[in-house]
Amino acid sequence: WKALQELLKQKANTSNETLSTCQTSTKKKHLLPAGNGREVPAINGKVGKAQPANQTDSSSAKNAPPLAEPKSKRGATDKALNGTKSDGKGCKEKKKDSNVLKEKDDIKHKRRKAEEQAEQQPKEPEIWFDDVDPKDIEAAIGPEAAKIARRNLELETKSKESVEKVLVKETASEGLTRAVAMDCEMVGVGPKGEESIVARVSIVNQFGKCVYDKYVKPTEEVTDYRTAVSGIRPENINTGEDFKTVQKEVTDILKGRILVGHALRNDLKVLFLDHPKKKIRDTQKYKPFKQRVKCARPSLKLLCERLLNIQVQTAEHCSIQDAQAAMRLYTLEKKTWEAAVKNKSNNKNSKN
Residues 227 and 149 in one domain: no
DSSP state, 142? Answer: -
The confidence score (pLDDT) of residue 127 equals 44
Answer yes or no: are the C-beta atoms of 180 and 258 closer than 8 Å.
yes
Q: Which amino acid is at 10?
A: Q
3-state helix, strand and coil shares in percent for the chain, rounded to the nearest 5: 55, 15, 30
Which of 161, 190, 208 terminates a domain? The answer is 161
Residues 184 and 230 in one domain: yes
Residues 341 and 226 in one domain: yes
Answer yes or no: are the C-beta atoms of 315 and 197 closer than 8 Å.
no
The answer on pLDDT for 302 being more than 60 is yes
Per-residue pLDDT band at 350 (split at 50, 70, 90): confident
Mean pLDDT (whole number) for 106-125:
56
The answer on pLDDT for 164 being more than 80 is yes
Residues 312 and 203 in one domain: yes
Residues 238 and 302 in one domain: yes
Nearest to 209 by CA among 62, 340, 331, 45: 331
Which of 98, 132, 161 terminates a domain? The answer is 161
Q: Which amino acid is at 352?
A: N
Between 1 and 90, the more confident residue is: 1
Residues 326 and 180 in one domain: yes
Q: Is there a domain that residue 283 lies in?
A: yes
Residues 282 and 319 in one domain: yes
The answer on pLDDT for 256 being more than 60 is yes
Q: Is there a domain that residue 70 lies in?
A: no
From residue 138, give the alpha-carbon distance in Å to each of 13, 118, 132, 156: 112, 18, 11, 15
Q: Which domain holds residue 154?
A: 124-161
Per-residue pLDDT band at 85 (split at 50, 70, 90): very low
Residues 144 and 216 in one domain: no
Please tell me the distance from the alpha carbon of residue 55 to that of residue 73, in angstroms, as a whole number: 30
- Bridge partners of 33, per DSSP, are 38
Residues 155 and 223 in one domain: no
The confidence score (pLDDT) of residue 27 equals 46
The domain that holds 208 is classified in CATH as 3.30.420.10
Q: Is there a domain that residue 228 lies in?
A: yes
From residue 207, give the alpha-carbon distance in Å to each of 115, 177, 179, 323, 324: 54, 9, 10, 11, 8
Q: Is there a domain that residue 208 lies in?
A: yes
Between 127 and 223, the more confident residue is: 223
The answer on pLDDT for 301 being more than 80 is yes
The per-residue pLDDT of the chain, averaged, comes to: 75
Q: Is there a domain that residue 134 lies in?
A: yes
Residues 229 and 332 in one domain: yes
Counted domains in the chain: 2
Q: Is there a domain that residue 213 lies in?
A: yes
Residues 138 and 210 in one domain: no
pLDDT tens-digit map of 200-237: 999 999 999 999 999 999 999 999 999 888 899 999 99
Answer yes or no: are the C-beta atoms of 230 and 185 closer than 8 Å.
yes
Paired sense of beta strands 222-224 and 210-215, if any: unpaired
Q: How buried is 51 (Cβ within 10 angstroms: 0-12 exposed, 13-18 middle, 19+ buried)? A: middle
Q: Is there a domain that residue 309 lies in?
A: yes
pLDDT tens-digit map of 16-69: 555 555 555 544 444 444 444 444 444 444 444 444 444 444 444 444 444 444
Angle between helices 71-85 and 87-120 (to 10 degrees): 90
Q: Is there a domain that residue 76 lies in?
A: no
Residues 142 and 240 in one domain: no
Angle between helices 243-254 and 264-271 (to 10 degrees): 130
